[in-house]
A and B are shown apart, each in its own frame.
Chain A
Amino acid sequence: SLGSLELQRRERFFQESIQRHVYLNSPVLSHENNSAIYGINQFSDLSPEEFKAIYLQSKAVKLPEYVKTSTKEAV
């Protein structure tokens, strides 16, 4: 509800996301053609920690390097 602590928290996360967008869109790294654009989306009121805890839950696995064994397999 309006003025609640939760709303204040969400507003703070939203403001922090705008700071991130400034960095991510910085011209030093985004001068290339078709470079990615970052901005407000449905995750902008989440903290990075919340975002990781909810959406980034894939466990890493080490796999053998691919070796092209034969032309037949590639075909």
Chain B
Amino acid sequence: LPARFDWRDKKFVTPVRNQLSCGGCWAFSIVGGIESAYAIKGNLLEELSVQQVIDCSYEDHGCNGGSTISALHWLNKTRVKLARASEYKFKAQTGICHYFPSSDFGVSIRDYKAYNFSGAEEQMMMQLINLGPLAVTVDAVSWQDYLGGIIQHHCSSGEANHAVLITGFDTTGDIPYWIVQNSWGTTWGIDGYVYIKIGENVCGIADTVSAALV
């Protein structure tokens, strides 16, 4: 494993988004992962529609909540093509699911991986390099007040309530940490990112880890 790795350095990560007052973090995290996986495959890095997942993933509850795993399950089962974000715009509220002609541009997934990596964060680092950015769930109660630095305390494993996207890791300093993209805009945290200590399943970051294959 390299001491530091970040998919942003390779220009395979789309910019930080803002979910506003929509509880659609679960959709933001998996769409971010699909965008990166699509670009890593040799395609153009494009922003895909989070709103489409919010509106159409019928096992979830749109802006009232959902799960990264059920959304990936839906995408995998239906082979729905995610439209460009510019064509199916984010409205910060749940809407009616729109359908597009099959000839239109879209990105579908061919499979996904989802595991619990607690106690195996080194393996998780390897999966990040192999598969691309990882959608994960965390306990983010204390993130209401986060400004910066590496989170090492004040959150629990096994109490996930938020979904985010791991884009990299850094083990060059005293405290190794995950580099995590959030969906609360760039004014939150470190330009929209948060750092979480590696190795102790801090905030439950290794409990529910998933990645789409495109």
Interfacial residues, chain A to chain B (CB-CB below 8 A): 17, 20-21, 24, 29-30, 32-39, 41-44, 46, 48, 51-66, 68, 74-75
- Taking a contact as CB atoms under 8 Å apart, the answer to whether A36 and B151 are in contact is yes
Interface pairs (27), CB distance under 8 Å:
A20-B144, A21-B145, A24-B142, A32-B175, A36-B150, A36-B151, A36-B154, A38-B147, A41-B145, A41-B147, A41-B187, A43-B145, A46-B144, A51-B141, A54-B23, A55-B140, A55-B184, A56-B23, A57-B26, A59-B65, A60-B158, A61-B70, A61-B137, A62-B116, A63-B69, A63-B208, A66-B123
Does B146 interact with chain A (Cβ within 8 Å)?
yes
With A61-B69, A66-B117 known to touch, is A38 a contact of B175 (CB < 8 Å)?
A: no
Additional A-B contact list (6), CB under 8 Å, known A34-B173, A38-B146, A66-B124:
A35-B152, A36-B146, A57-B25, A63-B207, A63-B209, A65-B118
- Our pick among A58, A63, A65 for the contact of B66 (Cβ within 8 Å) is A58
Interface SS majority for chain A: loop
Within the complex, the shortest CB–CB distance from B161 to chain A, in Å, comes to 4
Interface string of B130-150 (1 = CB under 8 A from A): 100000010011101111111
Within the complex, the shortest CB–CB distance from A44 to chain B, in Å, comes to 7
Within the complex, the shortest CB–CB distance from A43 to chain B, in Å, comes to 5
Residues in B whose Cβ lies below 8 Å from that of A64: 115-116
Distance of A65 Cα from B201 Cα, bound (Å): 13
Interface size on B, residues (CB 8 A): 61
Distance of A2 Cα from B66 Cα, bound (Å): 38
Distance of A29 Cα from B66 Cα, bound (Å): 33
Does B163 interact with chain A (Cβ within 8 Å)?
yes
Chain B minimum-CB-distance residue to A30? B153
Within the complex, the shortest CB–CB distance from B186 to chain A, in Å, comes to 11
- Taking a contact as CB atoms under 8 Å apart, the answer to whether A48 and B188 are in contact is no
- Our pick among A32, A41, A46 for the contact of B146 (Cβ within 8 Å) is A41
Distance of A21 Cα from B143 Cα, bound (Å): 11
- Taking a contact as CB atoms under 8 Å apart, the answer to whether A33 and B174 are in contact is yes
Distance of A75 Cα from B85 Cα, bound (Å): 33
Does B103 interact with chain A (Cβ within 8 Å)?
no
Residues in A whose Cβ lies below 8 Å from that of B61: 57
Within the complex, the shortest CB–CB distance from A34 to chain B, in Å, comes to 5
Find residues 10-28 in chain B having any chain A CB closer than 8 Å to their own CB. Answer: 19, 21, 23-26
Chain B minimum-CB-distance residue to A61? B69
